[in-house]
Chains A and B, each alone.
Chain A
Amino acid sequence: MIDVFVTSLQNLLTLHHLSYMMIGVAIGLVVGILPALGGIAGMSLLLPFVYGMEPTAAIAMMVGLLAVIPTSDTFSCILMGIPGSSASQATVLDGFPLARKGEAARALSASFSASMIGGLFGALCLTAIVIVARPLILSFTSAELFMLAIFGLSMVGVLSGSSLAKGVAACALGLAFGAIGTAPANGGERMTFDSLYLMSGLEITIIGLGIFALPEVLDLLRGQASISSTGKLGRGWLAGVRDTWREKWLTLRCATIGACVGLMPGLGGSVSDWISYGHTVQSAKDKSQFGKGDIRGVIGPEAANNSCAGGNLIPTLLFGIPGSGSMAIFLAAMILIGLQPGPGMADPKRDLDLTYTVVWTLALANVVGTAACIALSPSIARLTTIRFVLFAPFMILIIVFGAFQSTRSFEDILALLVIALTGIFLKRFGWPRPAFLIGFVLAGQVETYFYQAVQFYGYGFPLRPIAVTIALVTIASLWFTSRSRQAPKEATVPGGITTDIDFEREEDETAAAKNLWPQAIFTIVTVGFFIFTIAEGAQNSFLDAVFPVSVGAVGLLTAAFVLFWQVRGATGRGPAGNVNFDLDDGASSGSLWRFVGWLVGFVIAIGLLGFTLALIGFFLTFLKVVAKSSWLQAAVLTAAAVGLVLVLTSILNMNLPGGLLQHYFYDQLVWPLR
């Protein structure tokens, strides 16, 4: 064993290896900082170069990139509220409010230090576990993975905000959105409207951008001068590091969650992200600041997503089963350079030294990446002090560009628009968006593993020993949650149990509305959607119908419950209790819909003129009309935006989405217009 360690260390600490790792780290930093370009885009950038490279150099470069992305993508989470990748959505919940309070610096340094500890701790765990990882992974069958998914769903109890009914309904809504597309059992198509686009389901990237990022941008547009409400960065680089040190046990617990979830093939980064966020909230004594800028809400998920990236390596290397999208490309690159992952990677007589080289490169790159991020932070954090109307079009551009990375078609942008409208209403009417995301992220796992577990083990599958253990943990976790939910003074409030955790309310002012009809109408639409889910689901064969019908039924019941209280309040027959929530009731800061109109206009212009022309038009008019820029300023900013997009498209070698113009005059147009 010792000689394996020595060989790996020798491989690791050569100038050759280190310099390629640094190239990977540098690219990872850039890709991570650019919002909505995550590991998948970064790895696709490297793929053409990897081919023909010497294997260890190629691996050093790729691992360098993979290690640093979960750290560097925190910039966009915290500074702009745009999830940097699907594995860092939870960071937005508290990170962005911190930036808005003018505490961006503290949030960034806390998150980077947590990332680093997470990454190092993950690498340490993996070093110890590689040898026994095979039997460990093999002992987690579909039955255990299903129980883990249920454990994930139980976090909804913690993340539900003021009304449990709304939380469960929002989660059911997420599960129903996740059921769109081809069913895992018999391949029936559900809620696809015969569209090829919906056949493969909605992409998690688009869901994250639409549910979190766009509603925030549009909301900010109507009042705030800059992202940081104080217009300042705030002090506190050291304070952030101290925060992480104070929460060191939380950091280590979340790093463990991340490494374990990453180790299991088939769960993925977003699951570890949400479970660790749920755990952070659950284990905190004072929950009042979560969702409004609690530093722990940044530390937990950031520690988890770095160690998860390490954990993902294990199923990829030992079984050839990629744990995430970027791992799939890593695997492809390994095959291109002539390495076939398999059991040999854990065999001391064969390639174990290579595995250790990979794991330790990951650790080293984590440290280097963290140092670089901290060094870059002060200048990048200045973005939050820019006049927001000048910055907003760039954010909208980045979100739209990020969304169509999914399948590179116009439908991606349409899907983004629909999801963003859903997100706006969820936010406005106090339906907890984290619960929605948990539902969406786990929909596929819950359905597939349930079906497979029943097929392999019969209905007695929950009685398998590890499954029972996970079930007991879930029950214990629910019990703790319900205890903290029983705040005595609010126990009598109609509309269900309440807590002091409240994700959607930004200030302490009450969001109870006088006119309840707007929120009641949204609830009616939701009820209608659940009925549609049941009706659409039921048309499929039994196996494909079970999941959408049960999810629809749960959603229908809870949404109807919410509706009952809201209509009661709206018709003046009694108080609506804690389901009454409307951020926009009597709001003084101007209408959101004006800015939604801009977004819709942009999308329509893309549909007519194609992306490049629409982008130019959108930027110029927005900057002139909304930001009241001079022509010079508008022209310079527009040129910068177009330049950014064109450089990215040509490097990634993709076509920008076209509109009717491209449809009819494709041959007459040249890139970048087509």
Chain B
Amino acid sequence: MTEFTRRQLLAAGSAAAALGLAGVRPAFSQASVDFAGKTVEWWMPFSEGGGSDVWARFFAPYLSKYLPGNPNVVVRNVPGGGSITGSNEFVARARPDGLAILGTSGSTQFPFLLGDPRVRYDYAKLIPVLVSPTGGVCYLPAKFEVKSPAELGKIKDQDLVYGSQGATSLDLVPMLAFRLLGLKVRHVFGMQGRGDGRLAFERGEATIDYQTSSAYLTNVTPLVEAGTAVPMFSWGILDAQGNVARDPTFPDLPHFVEAYEMMHGKKPSGVEYDAYLAFFGSGFAAQKPCMLPEGTSDDIVATYRKAFADAVADPELQKAKGDVLGDYTQAVGNDIEQLYKVATTIKPEARDWVRNFLDTEYQVKL
């Protein structure tokens, strides 16, 4: 029953959000908003060249094109402190005048969800105007002769090794997923990125790995074709109702929940699954939100939402998106609140469970 509870919660949340929108925000009152001659700063708590930076820089010219008055949109990198510093500074500094927006990533959401005391931003107060999902595929070496998730039981007693970036990094999602599946996985930390993990896999050091969609297509597909790696499942995406669905990039591959069912014959449930869902949503299905500061007026919010909706509909953007956005549907307009909520909320008991799990298994004190 638990899985329905979460869905109901989401449905209720989105209904409330929709009501809120209908009640307070007029649909079109943008005449008063004009950014002509202004500069919009897109705050980026990561340094130049990271995935989130690329994402913001990709969107910036289109945002400029569709905001009234075509303001100059620049990306301002404020790196440091694992993206907590820049986000804290945004919350303290940015004025609700529509000239400052913040783009974050799963690694900004995770410390917030885990209740890190140094976090001074509150996602509930920021106002989302765009949410970009991402995905990934988990794969195994061919030597295990596991051809589909249904056969994962064959290796449940085997010691698997995963090259991880750290227990509280985005690799928390696979950590929770492997545990839920009942696989015995040893996490070797200190990888500098998923590329390092893949290298460890190719060397035979790591025996289970995942790559984000574009890296999977370029770097792992050749291994699959050569017969050395076998894809197991994708993380999946969240549909408009908040259900896990297949990844559009990999329609033939089961998603994690399907994989669990194929292995165990039943759907996953319980507090561990709630925890997994929260971090999966925040780390993949709704990984990169773009937000306006607390207190921004409704017409500015509506202007931004329309601008992003128009930008995403632009055939030029669709043609250029390539690996930056992948095949994922960008959440824009008024659909956004629900996906955003998934990425930025966690049940208190699920949070306590994860904190306790990280403390007892990995001595991570939060």
Contact = CB atoms under 8 A, between A and B. Distances in A.
Interface of A: 40, 43-44, 47-48, 51-52, 137-138, 141-142, 182, 184-188, 194, 196-197, 199-200, 265-266, 319-322, 325, 328-333, 335-336, 338, 340-344, 406-409, 448, 451-452, 455-457, 540-541, 653-655, 666-667
B85 A409 contact: yes
Given A188-B363, A196-B85, A409-B80, A336 B193 contact: no
Contacts of B95: 667
B200 interface: yes
B215 A320 contact: yes
B13 interface: no
A341 B218 contact: yes
Contact of B203 (A141, A186, A266, A325): A141
Contacts of B218: 320, 340-344
Contacts of B189: 184-187, 451
Given A138-B203, A338-B323, A343-B219, A196 B214 contact: no
Interface string B193-210: 101101110110100000
B199 A451 contact: no
A265 B199 contact: yes
Contacts, number: 156
A51 B48 CA distance: 14
Determine which residue in A320, A331, A451, A541 has the highest number of CB atoms from chain B within 10 A of its CB, and name it.
A320
A336 B75 CA distance: 15
Interface stretch (B51-59, B289-297, B334-342): B51-59
A131 to B, nearest CB: 15
Contact of A335 (B190, B199, B203, B324): B324
Top 5 A-B residue pairs of the complex, sorted by shortest distance between their CB atoms: A196-B81, A184-B190, A342-B218, A541-B363, A329-B49
B80 A328 contact: no
A590 B61 CA distance: 57
A26 B48 CA distance: 21
Contacts of A456: 161, 188, 200, 205
Interface string B141-160: 00000000000000000000
B79 A408 contact: yes
B336 to A, nearest CB: 25
B190 A48 contact: no
Given A266-B192, A342-B219, A655-B76, 9 more contacts: A47-B48, A185-B189, A319-B195, A330-B49, A332-B53, A338-B320, A409-B78, A451-B188, A666-B93
Given A186-B362, A340-B323, A52 B186 contact: no
A198 to B, nearest CB: 9
Nearest to A336: B54
A267 to B, nearest CB: 12
B25 interface: no
B215 to A, nearest CB: 6
B74 interface: yes
Nearest to B363: A541
B118 interface: yes
B167 interface: yes
A52 B320 CA distance: 9
Nearest to B84: A196
A133 B62 CA distance: 39
A503 to B, nearest CB: 32
Contact of B202 (A40, A138, A186, A340): A138
Interface of B: 48-50, 53-54, 57-58, 61, 74-82, 84-85, 88, 93, 95, 118, 161, 166-168, 186, 188-190, 192-193, 195-196, 198-200, 202-203, 205, 214-215, 217-219, 222, 320, 322-324, 362-365
Nearest to B218: A342
B76 A332 contact: no
A343 B79 contact: no
B320 A407 contact: no
30 contacts: A43-B49, A44-B77, A138-B199, A138-B203, A141-B203, A141-B205, A142-B200, A185-B190, A187-B364, A194-B118, A199-B80, A265-B199, A266-B196, A319-B219, A320-B215, A321-B192, A321-B196, A328-B50, A329-B49, A332-B54, A338-B323, A407-B78, A407-B79, A408-B77, A408-B78, A408-B79, A409-B80, A451-B189, A654-B76, A655-B76
Contacts of A344: 218, 222
A40 B48 contact: yes
- Of the candidates B50, B77, B81, B93, the one having the most CB atoms from chain A within 10 angstroms of its own CB is B81
A220 B295 CA distance: 54
B48 A197 contact: no
A455 B322 contact: no
A200 B84 CA distance: 11
A292 B305 CA distance: 63
Contact of A197 (B80, B198, B205, B324): B80
A73 B58 CA distance: 31
A197 to B, nearest CB: 6
A196 B86 CA distance: 10
B190 A451 contact: yes
Contact of A452 (B188, B217, B219): B188
A332 B193 contact: no
Contact of B363 (A182, A186, A265, A655): A186
Nearest to A139: B203
Given A43-B49, A265-B199, A321-B193, A653 B74 contact: yes
Nearest to B78: A408
Nearest to B80: A407
* Max chain B Cβ within 10 angstroms of own Cβ: one of A48, A187, A188, A653: A187
A332 B85 contact: no
A187 B80 contact: no
Contacts of B363: 186, 188, 540-541
Contact of B76 (A187, A330, A455, A653): A653
Scoring B75, B190, B217, B323 by chain A CB atoms within 10 A of each residue's CB, the highest score goes to B190
